[in-house]
Amino acid sequence: MAALGFVGGEILTAQKLTVDEYIPDAPLIGSDGELTPGARRIFGGWYDLFTDSEGCFTKDSAANFIQACCGDKPLAHDARISGLFVHDGDGDGKLLREEFLTFYHLGSRGEKARAVRENLKAFNVRPDLKKLSEVEDGASVPVAELPRYFMPRD
């Protein structure tokens, strides 16, 4: 840190840089009326991420999902959880992968399409359905020019 001119006890503040660039929305629903492969991959990944240790997507899983998406942890009787579990076909309190995908399939087609796009944004998925972690920066710098490469040696 001294190489950068910082002294002990100094407070650093980091800020996320938001780059506004126009990226057209990729379709979530294909010409066949089904979720596109990209949308299935993203929504299926969310299902996998929030299933419990037994591989089940429960109401607790839904609460954790909503908290990650919206920032607030809903109560068990929250309308958002109830709306999701309308798709629980066998009524066992556990959503199957296809039931979760059905929720997003219906939401992507109807009045909730904007909310689906907001969910994607909350999970750092661009409008073209690429995760920000998957996007390669076109301006790559050689490793030898990065500060972490030459600072420890000086």
CA 105 vs. chain centroid, Å, equals: 16
Q: What are the structure tokens assigned to 121, written together?
A: 């944004």
Residue 125 β-bridge partners: 131
**Structural domains of the chain, with CATH:** 33-129 (1.10.238.10)
Q: What are the structure tokens assigned to 96, written together?
A: 């199957």
What amino acid is encoded at 74 in this protein? P
Per-residue pLDDT tens for 95-109? 999 999 999 999 998
Nearest-10 crossing angle of helices 113-122, 59-70: 80
43-75: burial string, b at 16+ Cβ within 10 Å, e else: bbebbeebbeeeeebbbebbbbbbeebeeeebe
Residue 35 β-bridge partners: 29
Q: Tell me the C-alpha distance between 112 and 86, whole Å.
A: 15
DSSP annotation of 18 reads P
Q: Tell me the C-alpha distance between 150 and 88, whole Å.
A: 56
Per-residue pLDDT tens for 36-68? 999 999 999 999 999 998 889 999 999 999 999
pLDDT band at 125 (very low <50, low <70, confident <90, very high): very high
Per-residue pLDDT tens for 17-34? 665 568 889 999 999 999
pLDDT exceeds cutoff 60 at 154 = no
Q: Is 119 exposed, middle or buried (0-12, 13-18, 19+ CB in 10 A)?
A: buried
